[in-house]
Amino acid sequence: MLLGTRDTSPNIESTFMDNTFLPLTPILHRWIQDIIEQPITLFRAIEQHGSPINIHHLAPLEENIDAYVGVLTKYNITHKIFFARKANKCLELAQAAAHAGQGVDTASYRELQQCVESGIANRQLVLTAAVKNRSLLELALQHDITVVLDNEDELQLAQDVAQEKKRTMEINIRVGGFFVENQRLPTRFGFPIDRAVACVSGLADKYPNLVYTGLHFHLNGYSVSERVAAIEQSVRVIDELANEGIHTKSLDIGGGILMNYLQSEQEWLDFHQALREAVLGKRSALTYQNDALGMVKIDGQLHGEPTVYPYFNKLHKEHLLEAILTTPSSIFNVPIHQLFTARNLEFRMEPGRSLLDQVGCTVAKVAFRKEDSEGRLLVGLEMNRTQLRSSSADFLLDPIHLPKREDQEAKDPCYAYLVGSYCLEQELILKRKVRLKSYPEIGDLILFPNTAGYMMHFYESEAHLFELAKNVFL
């Protein structure tokens, strides 16, 4: 029998008295700790802007940029870091990245237009949009923005646009399909790496208005070794092109650098172990209706892994970048960083999520408390699940309960599921059961930490004509 993610066996929560909660304690930057300690400003902000609100702070963004720059400088690598603004729509973040001397990776007409209009210099912008129409390429050409091209149709359109305006357009070529352990990494993006030399060396004849300056890739997943392989194979292409007299200025390795959300590896491991036991009916449920978070139960056996972001990571951010750069290249017999310095090749990267580590949080107001038909406590929030959503099956960090009355703090904790305002049975803000300081009161606040990267904006919708959450900056 295939049960998918929903277990229809008798309500395990009421069958088992084991209601042990498994914490997933988030790392909190000082600024978040400060607002938690002084929540009066949060209550005022919710009064003023409505619920939920997204609160941002630029200092951690600058710290994250500095950490990457520190590693690149340590190895004397000429570099530019382009903040992938698709991870959060606030222009202030793009401006802050530019202000810090770095750049912005844009993925749509409005992302690019806003950056240009806000005065970010053309050399600090790159356009990587997954679909580029004529008007987007015209905008890029008008402002001399480097465009990363993905396929022949885009090359042709870019050529047409540049030729029509009697201009040249600076382009990078996106490559993909790298080989790792004799297998190709599957992707829908880019020109196959083994055809990249032919592609680039044919450009000048076929597309005379396009000026090639670099290679680009962005890999799915977070693997260090796959990034190392992709860099090596790209550099091999760059060397072959150099032999043909074609110069490559930069290699852009895209984003996908892991970040770490959680304080404790043990908590992370314990949660996964307990989730499996719960889904197999061996302990009380940790998730609503015993949701398996992407695992599948067939004939009493669990298959697959939870389809969640790896919220705990020992190796993350600048440490992960350094691990890539110091890996010895099996092709060139030197560490990866020397591939850049020896060729005077500019290193580019496009981190989105990891530059937003600790940059934002989302706060929502409690609207109601009730029990569902099975007797589970539900806490209704004035927000919907698109306002805290990424491609991960759940956001596995403990939210923080901020009671409006101080005397509530001393009471017993309670366990509940957080539900939102869309009219769906599946409208859970978090699938995981959460611990609250006490039985919540209407008007209490729930703070979700570290939501700036993807969680706030990527899937937010205006269904039911609810207004989008307000974004504020400290």
81 C-beta neighbours (distance < 10 Å), count: 24
Shortest distance in whole angstroms from residue 223 CB to ligand PLP: 13
Q: Does 403 bind ligand PLP (CB under 6 A)?
A: no
CB of 84 to ligand PLP, least distance (A): 4
| CB of residue 145 to ligand PLP, shortest distance in Å | 15
User: Looking at 49-57, 190-198, 347-355, 401-409, which segment touches ligand PLP (CB under 6 A)?
Assistant: 347-355
In the complex with ligand PLP, the residue whose CB is nearer, 254 or 403, is 254
Element (H, E) at 61: helix 59-74
Largest CA distance in the chain: 76
From 248-256, 357-365, 415-423, 429-437, span contacting ligand PLP (CB under 6 A): 248-256
Q: CB–CB of 392/445 below 8 Å? A: no
Site for ligand PLP in 101-120 (CB under 6 A): 105
| Nearest to ligand PLP of 256, 449 (CB atom) | 256
Least Cβ distance, residue 353 to ligand PLP (angstroms): 4
Pairing of strands 53-56, 301-303: unpaired
Q: Is 254 in the site for ligand PLP (CB under 6 A)?
A: yes
When CB distances to ligand PLP are compared, the closest residue is 255
Binds ligand PLP (CB under 6 A): choice among 26, 103, 177, 255: 255
- In this chain, which stretch among 113-121, 349-357, 392-400, 422-430 interacts with ligand PLP, using CB under 6 A? 349-357
Q: Is the dihedral of CA 57, 61, 67, 73 positive or negative?
A: negative
What is the footprint of ligand PLP within residues 260-319 (CB under 6 A)? none
Q: Find the binder of ligand PLP among 106, 114, 128, 287 (CB under 6 A).
A: 128
**Part in contact with ligand PLP (CB under 6 A); list of ranges 134-142, 250-258, 292-300, 461-469:** 250-258
Decide if residue 132 touches ligand PLP (CB under 6 A): no
3-class SS at 32? helix
Q: Do β-strands 250-252 and 346-349 pair in parallel, antiparallel, or remain unpaired?
A: parallel
Please write down the long-range contacts of 138-143, taking CB distance under 8 Å and 24 or more positions apart. 138/165, 139/109, 139/112, 139/113, 140/112, 140/169, 141/165, 141/167, 141/169, 143/116
Q: Nearest distance from residue 257's CB to ligand PLP, in Å? A: 6
Q: Which one, of 457, 372, 397, lies nearest residue 11 by Cα?
A: 372
> Using CB under 6 A, which of 35, 42, 87, 229 touches ligand PLP?
87
Tokens of 353: 């999520």
> Quick check: 168 and 147 in contact, CB under 8 A?
no
Binding residues for ligand PLP, rule CB under 6 A, total: 14
Alpha helices in 244-316 (DSSP H): 265-279
Q: Segment contacting ligand PLP (CB under 6 A): 56-64, 291-299, 352-360, 365-373?
A: 352-360
- Report the residue from 214, 256, 399, 449 that binds ligand PLP according to the rule CB under 6 A: 256
Count CB neighbours of 443 within 10 A.
Answer: 15
Contact region with ligand PLP (CB under 6 A), list: 49-57, 61-69, 156-164, 344-352:
344-352
* Dist CA 278 CA 15 (whole Å): 12
Site for ligand PLP contains 360 (CB under 6 A): no
In terms of CB distance, is 86 or 385 closer to ligand PLP?
Answer: 86
CA 36 from centre of chain: 24
Is there binding between residue 214 and ligand PLP (CB under 6 A)? no
Of the candidate residues 176, 352, 380, 403, the single one contacting ligand PLP (CB under 6 A): 352
- For ligand PLP, the closer of residues 254 and 440 by Cβ is 254
The distance of closest approach from Cβ of residue 148 to ligand PLP in the complex, given in angstroms and rounded to an integer, is 7
Q: How far is the CB of 286 from ligand PLP (least distance, A)?
A: 27
For residues 41 and 35, give the distance between their C-alpha atoms in angstroms, rounded to a whole number: 7
CB environment 104-136: b (16+ within 10 A), e (fewer): bbbbbbebbebbbeeebebebbbbbbeebeeeb
Task: Please say whether the beta carbons of 434 and 416 come within 8 A.
Answer: yes
Whose Cβ is closer to ligand PLP: residue 313's or residue 421's?
313
Tell me how long the chain is.
Answer: 474
Q: Which residues bind ligand PLP (CB under 6 A)?
A: 84, 87, 105, 128, 218, 254-257, 350-354
